[in-house]
């Protein structure tokens, strides 16, 4: 299952405009590539009906989120469409130390913060086949109210313009193909020693 042709485990950031299909790509990787560790972000956004607390996100209120920032528990965080999102630092670092490929699905501001904090991270941009297709997907997915859609559309142009900052671009034409291309970039788990290393 582990492909020798893949490079060694590392931190990869998946970003791209809202509505491009990051969640679908992540769900395929969750189902088919269990050796990849998917970071679980903390958010103040309301839970969608298909989401599970602790799997897709940790759902918290704003004061809990602010406490985590103050305690330095977040590797990066950002406000997006009126809600706060952040990556818990400890879990990411623990997995990387254990040699497991780590994948973060975060917005552009978060991707920039990760690049600054961890220059070895690779940044992958998930792009839509076209801008028209992106708008169609964003309006058609039916999980957000009108105001949220409006904010996400307004943000999309800024996100699309950031593509040159990324190490790789994957076009989400077919989700299965895009997920496969991404898995190819993630790296293989490093085999863990028989006895845990002391650090
Ligand atoms: P959604 O509300 O659709 O799940 O996510 C909205 C945006 O927030 C997406 O672009 C998603 O990648 C981003 N996001 C999710 N988790 C995090 C996080 O931990 N940090 C940052 N900076 N953005 C995140």
- The per-residue pLDDT for range 19-78, each reduced to its tens digit, is 899 999 999 999 999 999 999 999 999 999 999 999 999 999 999 999 999 999 999 999
Ligand 1 pocket residue status of 80, Cβ below 6 Å: yes
pLDDT at 70: 98
109 alpha carbon – ligand 1 mean position (Å): 10
- The residue-averaged pLDDT of 124-139 equals 90
Q: In 3-state terms, what secondary structure has residue 14?
A: strand
Domain of residue 177, residue span: 11-186
Instruction: Give the single-character DSSP code of 163.
Output: G
Number of structural domains the chain divides into: 1
Residue 2: predicted pLDDT: 45
Q: Whose CA is nearest to atom 17 of ligand 1?
A: 106
Asked whether residue 4 is domain-assigned, the answer is no
Residue 198, Cβ density class (10 Å: 0-12 exposed, 13-18 middle, ≥19 buried)? exposed
Q: Does residue 199 belong to any structural domain of this protein?
A: no
Q: Which of 107, 134, 145, 152 to mutate to test the pocket of ligand 1 (most atoms within 8 A of CB)?
A: 107
Q: What percent of the chain shows pLDDT beyond 90?
A: 68
Check whether 143 has a pLDDT greater than 80. no
Distance CA 142, CA 73 (A): 33
The answer to whether residue 26 sits within a structural domain is yes
């Amino acid at each position: 299952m582990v492909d020798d042709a893949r490079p060694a485990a590392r931190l990869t950031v998946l970003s791209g405009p809202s509505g491009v299909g990051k969640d679908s790509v992540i769900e395929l990787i969750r189902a088919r590539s269990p050796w990849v560790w998917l970071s679980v972000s903390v958010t103040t956004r309301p839970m969608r009906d298909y989401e599970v607390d602790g799997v897709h996100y940790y759902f918290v209120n704003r004061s809990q989120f602010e406490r985590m920032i103050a305690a330095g528990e977040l590797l990066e965080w950002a406000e997006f469409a009126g809600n706060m999102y952040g990556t818990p630092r400890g879990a990411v670092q623990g997995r990387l130390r254990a040699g497991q490929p780590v994948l973060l699905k975060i917005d552009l501001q978060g991707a920039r913060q990760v690049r600054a904090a961890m220059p070895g991270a690779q940044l992958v941009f998930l792009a839509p086949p076209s801008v028209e297709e992106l708008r169609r997907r964003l309006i058609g997915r039916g999980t957000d109210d009108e105001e949220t859609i409006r904010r996400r559309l307004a943000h999309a142009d800024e996100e699309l313009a950031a593509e040159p900052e990324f190490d790789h671009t994957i076009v989400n034409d077919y989700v299965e193909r895009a997920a496969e291309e991404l898995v190819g970039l993630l790296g293989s788990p490093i085999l863990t020693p028989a006895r845990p290393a002391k650090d």
